[in-house]
Amino acid sequence: MISAEEKLLVNVLYKPESEILNGIEINDINFDNLIKLASRHLMLPALFFNINKKNVSCLFPEDFIEYIKNIYSINKARNTVLLNEAKELSELLYENNINHIFLKGTALLLSNVFEDIGERMIGDIDFIIQHKDKQKVEKVLEKNNWFTSDIVLGFKIFKHKHLPRMVNKNKTIAIEPHLELLSPGWRGNFNSKKLINTFKDKTKTIKTPSKPFLFDHCINALQIEDRRFFNSHHSHRSVYDIYRLDCKKSLTIKNIKKDIFIKHFFITIDKFKIFDIHVNDNLFNLYFDKLYRAVIKSQLSILSSRVFSIFKQLINLFVSSAYRKHVLNKISNHYYNKTLLNYLYTWLKA
């Protein structure tokens, strides 16, 4: 069931001024709950922008407007800094002959998807590089005072989708250099080869993917990385991104139905009637989708189980001398007078 607060949020974000109160009694709105809802979906700045744009601030308490206006102003100032730092980062990378493409929220801002840069809340500056430039990027960033506080393991069975998140004491926004678009196991669905033509472009200008690409990446990242495909929860920030991208060519029944993740995204938000499109599914497809999600969930559960953890530790024993030394020290300290096989077994089991 959609709450009155969410109905109002949806109407303000996606409907014209004349329809904002459709199906809503303004006296039933709990404005504290509206703030909590919009904050949870990272939509307070967009909420203020649309209230102001549609001239409906009279419907809201003054302290409510003042509060979300302050959030919007802070976010707009931060995004101004973000855009400047993204441009500085781009210049640094090009100076060192590193081709790169901005992704996600940064790409949306740089592509002028939004009417106002204060609308979108963004965490880090995401960009993707080619695998051949990985070591060069690490050296260039380290030389220019970028560092990570994340713990980096010496061995990984699968390559992570991005290098560790990096910060710079002279910068405001953290960065995430990507090598892939999605985590291991999902790259066949949506991989970085889709950007190959953009990488081939040697023009040293700020590069962002096309809007149809951003459309697909937004939905795949939400459904897979944020696991919304498995829990059927929605994200108004992602819905708003899709709404602002306005990819009419992508929004066809044929295109939606051929991709299970895109289809699930639109089925999940169909109740809001935001897009002029309705995905009808027959009984077979509905049960197939549920079965598919159940199978994927079970596979992920197995991969994330203790068995997989032990397997990674065994691999590390063979490839990392430092890790091997740590294990042997642990064994010698705690399991004296036992065979080496028992040492390993008891240690791994613990």
Q: Is residue 56 part of a domain?
A: no
Which tens digit of pLDDT belongs to each residue from 130-153? 989 999 999 999 999 999 866 554
What is the predicted pLDDT for the residue at 195? 84
Phi, psi of 177 (to 5 degrees): -80, 115
- Residue 99 inside a domain? The answer is no
Q: What is the mean pLDDT of each run of 10 residues along the chain (350 residues)?
A: 93 93 90 96 97 95 96 97 96 94 95 95 94 92 86 51 87 92 73 79 88 89 83 89 82 66 84 79 53 55 52 57 61 54 56
CB 174 within 8 A of CB 210: no
> What is the DSSP track for 186-200?
STTTS-GGGGHHHHH
Q: What pLDDT is attached to residue 154?
A: 46
Going by C-alpha positions, the residue among 164, 181, 171 that lies closest to residue 129 is: 181
Pairwise CA distance, residues 272 & 7, whole Å:
8
- Whether residue 288 is contained in a domain is answered as no
Shortest CA distance to 209 belongs to which of 107, 98, 85, 346? 107
d(CA 49, CA 65): 11
Do the domain assignments include residue 203?
Answer: no
Residue 312 lies in a domain: yes
Within 10 angstroms of residue 294's Cβ, the number of other Cβ atoms is 11
Contact between 177 and 162 under an 8 Å Cβ cutoff? The reply is: yes
CA distance 104 to 128: 10
Q: Could you tell me if residue 338 is inside a domain?
A: yes
Domain span including residue 344: 306-349
Give the dihedral sign, CA 241/164/95/200: negative
For the chain, the domain total comes to 1
Identify the pLDDT of residue 268: 86
Question: Cβ atoms within 10 A of the Cβ of 173, count?
Answer: 20
Sign of the torsion formed by the C-alpha atoms of 334, 338, 344 and 345: negative
Between CA 167 and CA 144 the distance in angstroms is 11
- Specify the pLDDT at position 155: 43
* Cβ-contact 267, 293 below 8 angstroms: no
How far is 291 from 273, CA to CA, in rounded Å?
Answer: 27
342 located within any domain:
yes
User: Distance between CA 126 and CA 139 in Å, rounded?
Assistant: 18
- Element containing residue 325 per DSSP (H, E): helix 321-334
Mean pLDDT of the chain: 81
